[in-house]
Amino acid sequence: MQGKGERAARATASSAWLKAWLRPHAGVLVLSLCLMLVQSLASLAQPWLGGLVTDRLMVDQGFGLLLWLIFVLVCAQQLLGYLVAVQLQKVSGRLVATAGGEVYAHLQDLPLAWHQARRRGDVHALLLGDIYRLSGYITGTLVPLLPLLLTFVGGLAMMFRLAPLIAVAVAVSLPVLVIALKLVGRRMRPLAHASSQAWADLSALAEQNLELLPVIKTFAKSSLEADNYRARAEALYRVQMREARLQSAMSPAVYVAGAGLVLLMLGLAGHLVIRDEMRVGELVSLFLYGMLLVSPITQLAHVYGTTQASLGSMHRLRDALLAPVEVDSGTLDRFPEGVDIVFAGVDFAYPGRDPLFRGFDLHIRAGETVALTGINGAGKSTLVHVLLRLVEPQAGRVSIGGIDLRQFRLDALRGQIGLVAQQVMLFNATVTDNIAYGRSGATRIQIEQAARASRAHDFIMGLPEGYDTIVGDQGIRLSGGQKQRLALARALLKDPPILILDEATAMFDPEGEAEFIRECADVLQQRTVIMITHRPASLALADRVLRMDAGSIHEVTPSVQTVSAMPGNL
Ligand SMILES: Nc1ncnc2c1ncn2[C@@H]1O[C@H](COP(=O)(O)OP(=O)(O)OP(=O)(O)O)[C@@H](O)[C@H]1O
C-alpha cells in the first residue's frame, strides 16, 4: 500500500514532467484558448441576434444588417476554428515528438533489470500509445474545456435573462444528467485500462513472434501462432467495441436528453408568448440558446471518459519516468595506466534468485589474457555484466586500476571496454555502419583494418555490395560466424584497453578460429582480455584459465590448482 506522503510526492512528480513538456507550448496553448473563447463569445451572440431579427421581422423593420452581422460572426467563428485546429495539431505533434524523445531517452537510461522485468510490448505501448493519448487529451479535451464551459454558462445566463424560471428549470435538471454521465464514466475507466492492456498484449505477441519466425516455421507452428494472434486481436476488438459502444452511446443519449429539454423549454416559452409575457424574438433566442447548449453538454459528456483513459496513460508514463535510472555519479573519464581488474568480496543475486556470487574475489592483472570457463549458468556472463555495470552487485567492490568502477562515468567505463557478446546484436544497416558503431568518426581505412583484424574483410568483400551491404534485422542476412566477426571488428575498432570476448569464436569454423588466433595474438597482447570460452584453440591463447563453478572460481592452468572462492579466492 502506498502511503499518503508517497502518493502526494508521486502526484507532484507526475505533474512536474507534464508541466515541463507543456511549458514550451504555453504561448500557443494560451493563444488557442483565447481564440476559442472569442469563438464561444461569437457563438453566444448569434441566438441573441437571431431573436432581434425575428422581432424586427414581426414589426416589419429592416433586418438585413443584422443578417450580415450574423454572417460575419459565423465566418469569424469558422476562421478561428480553422486557426485553432492548426495550432493545436501543431502542439499535439510537437508534444508527441518531444515527450516521445524524452521518454525514449529515459527508457534507455533505465537499468537492464527494469526492462527485463517487463514485456517489450508494454514498453512500446508507452511510446506509441500512451504519449499519443495524453497529447490528444491535452489539445483535444483539456484546452477546449474552458471555452466549452464559457459557452455552457454563457448560454445558461442568457436564458436566465430571457426567462429566469425556464433557465432555473434547465439548470436544476442538469445535475441529473451530470450524475448519469459520471456513472457511465465510472464504467469507462476499467474498459479503457483493459483496452490498452489488450493492445499491449497484441503488439507484444506480434513483436515476439516476428522475431521468432524461424523457430515458428521450423517447429511448424505457423497456424497455431496465427490462431493465437487472431484470438488476441479478437479480444482487443471485443474490449474496444465495449468501450466504443459506451462512448458512442453517451453522445446520442445526451443529445436526446438535451433535445427533450429544449422542446420542453419551447413548450413552456410558447405559453408565455401566448400570454403576451414574452416576445416571439425572445422565444426564438431561447430556442437557439437551448440548441447551442446541446453541443457543449454532449462534448462535456466525453470529458469524463477521456479523462479516465488519459489518467491511465499518465500513470503508466509517470511510473516509467519515476523509475530510477542507472546511477551515474562518477566523474573520471579515463582508466589509469595498468588496468588491473579486481573483484573484492562481491555479492550478487538476480532479483528473486539465489545468490550467484557471495564474497567473490578475482584479480586479473593488466595486460593478461584470462580465459573463463565453467558450466552453463555458472555466472560467467554475469561477471562481465558486473564489470560493465549493467547490473550492480549488492556488496563488495569492483575496481579497474585500483579505482572503484563507480568513480568512472558510465559512458567512459563502457567506452573503454570492448565487448563481443554471446548473442551478437547488429543493426539493420550496412556492414560499415555496424563496424563504425564502435567508434564515432572512424575512417574507412580504420574500419577495414578492424575488419581485417577480426578476419571479416574477405567475407565482406564477397558480399553483393561489400562494405555497403545491408545486413538485415539482427544481421539476419549473415551467417552466425560472420556476425561474430563483424561484432569483433566493431569491438576492435574501439581499441579498448579491456576486451571481453564472450564465446566470441563459438561460431567460427576451426580454420577461421586458428587463423583468427594466430592473427589476433598481437591485438590481444596489447590489452587486458577476458575470454569466455570452452574452445581449446581459444584457451591456448590465455595466460591463465579460470573455471567458474557455482559462485566459486578455480585456476586450471598452467598448473591446475583450486582456489577456494566462497568467500575469497584469486
Ligand atoms: N536477467 C536475469 N534474471 C534472472 N536470472 C538471470 C538473469 N540472467 C542470468 N540469470 C541466471 O544467472 C545465472 C548465471 O547466468 P550467466 O548467463 O551469467 O551464466 P553463464 O556462466 O554465462 O552461462 P552460459 O555458459 O550458459 O553462457 C543463471 O542461473 C541464469 O539463469
In a shared domain, residues 193 and 295: yes
In a shared domain, residues 250 and 139: yes
In a shared domain, residues 384 and 511: yes
| pLDDT tens column, 533-548 | 888 777 877 889 999 8
The pLDDT score that the predictor gives to residue 59 is 77
* Comparison of pLDDT for 480 and 448, the residue scoring more: 448
447 found inside a domain? yes
Model confidence at 4: pLDDT above 70: no
Q: Which stretch of 49-58, 250-259, 482-491 has the lowest confidence by average pLDDT?
A: 250-259
Average pLDDT of span 370-375: 90
CB contact at 8 A, 394 and 348? yes
In a shared domain, residues 240 and 374: no
Of 322, 349, 374, the one marking the end of a domain is 322
The pLDDT score that the predictor gives to residue 5 is 54
Average pLDDT of span 370-395: 91
Instruction: Give the residue whose CA is nearest to atom 2 of ligand 1.
Output: 350
The pLDDT score that the predictor gives to residue 214 is 72
In a shared domain, residues 299 and 412: no
Written as nine digits, the cell of 560 is: 591446475
- Percent of the chain topping pLDDT 90: 33
SS3 421: coil
Average pLDDT of span 1-21: 62
* Comparison of pLDDT for 541 and 379, the residue scoring more: 379
Q: How many domains does the chain have?
A: 2
Q: How far apart are CA 509 and CA 52, in angstroms?
A: 93
In a shared domain, residues 357 and 424: yes
In a shared domain, residues 282 and 346: no
In a shared domain, residues 77 and 117: yes
Q: How far apart are CA 458 and CA 435, in angstroms?
A: 15
Residue 348 CA to ligand 1 centre (angstroms):
12
Average pLDDT of span 176-182: 72
Written as nine digits, the cell of 44 is: 453566444
Q: Where are the alpha helices (DSSP H) in 59-119?
A: 64-109, 112-116
Of 322, 352, 382, the one marking the end of a domain is 322
The pLDDT score that the predictor gives to residue 107 is 93
The pLDDT score that the predictor gives to residue 468 is 94
What single-letter amino acid sits at 161?
A: R
Of 114, 356, 392, which is best to mutate to test ligand 1, by the most ligand atoms within 8 angstroms of its C-beta? 356
329 found inside a domain? no
Written as nine digits, the cell of 499 is: 576486451
Instruction: Give the residue whose CA is nearest to atom 16 of ligand 1.
Output: 379
Q: How far apart are CA 424 and CA 435, in angstroms?
A: 12
237 lines ligand 1 (CB under 6 A): no
Q: Any idea which residue has 532479483 for its cell? A: 351
Average pLDDT of span 515-524: 72
The CATH number assigned to the domain holding 436 equals 3.40.50.300
The pLDDT score that the predictor gives to residue 176 is 74
In a shared domain, residues 423 and 316: no
Average pLDDT of span 510-533: 78
The CATH number assigned to the domain holding 235 equals 1.20.1560.10
In a shared domain, residues 316 and 345: no
547 lines ligand 1 (CB under 6 A): no
331 found inside a domain? no
214 found inside a domain? yes
In a shared domain, residues 304 and 381: no
Torsion of Cα atoms, 551 then 557 then 563 then 569, to 10°: -70
Q: How confident is the model at residue 124 (pLDDT cuts 50, 70, 90)?
A: confident
Model confidence at 311: pLDDT above 90: no
Q: What is the mean pLDDT of the chain?
A: 85
356 lines ligand 1 (CB under 6 A): yes
1 found inside a domain? no
Of 322, 349, 375, the one marking the end of a domain is 322
Model confidence at 232: pLDDT above 80: yes
448 found inside a domain? yes
Domain interval for residue 517? 341-557
SS3 13: helix
| pLDDT tens column, 417-470 | 988 887 888 898 999 999 999 888 889 999 999 998 888 899 999 999 999 999
SS3 548: strand
423 found inside a domain? yes
* Nearest atom, ligand 1, residue 391 CA: 1
| pLDDT tens column, 49-97 | 998 988 888 777 778 888 899 999 999 989 999 999 999 999 999 888 9
The pLDDT score that the predictor gives to residue 8 is 54
Average pLDDT of span 228-256: 86
pTM metric for this prediction? 0.74
In a shared domain, residues 513 and 455: yes
Average pLDDT of span 310-317: 86
350 lines ligand 1 (CB under 6 A): yes
Q: How far apart are CA 464 and CA 479, in angstroms?
A: 15
* Comparison of pLDDT for 525 and 459, the residue scoring more: 459
4 found inside a domain? no
391 lines ligand 1 (CB under 6 A): no
Q: Which of 267, 259, 345, 269 is nearest to 297 (CA)?
A: 259
The pLDDT score that the predictor gives to residue 424 is 84
382 lines ligand 1 (CB under 6 A): yes
Of 382, 388, 419, which is best to mutate to test ligand 1, by the most ligand atoms within 8 angstroms of its C-beta? 382
374 lines ligand 1 (CB under 6 A): yes
Backbone angles phi, psi at 547, to 5 degrees: -110, 125
Q: How confident is the model at residue 302 (pLDDT cuts 50, 70, 90)?
A: confident
551 lines ligand 1 (CB under 6 A): no
Instruction: Give the residue whose CA is nearest to atom 17 of ligand 1.
Output: 381
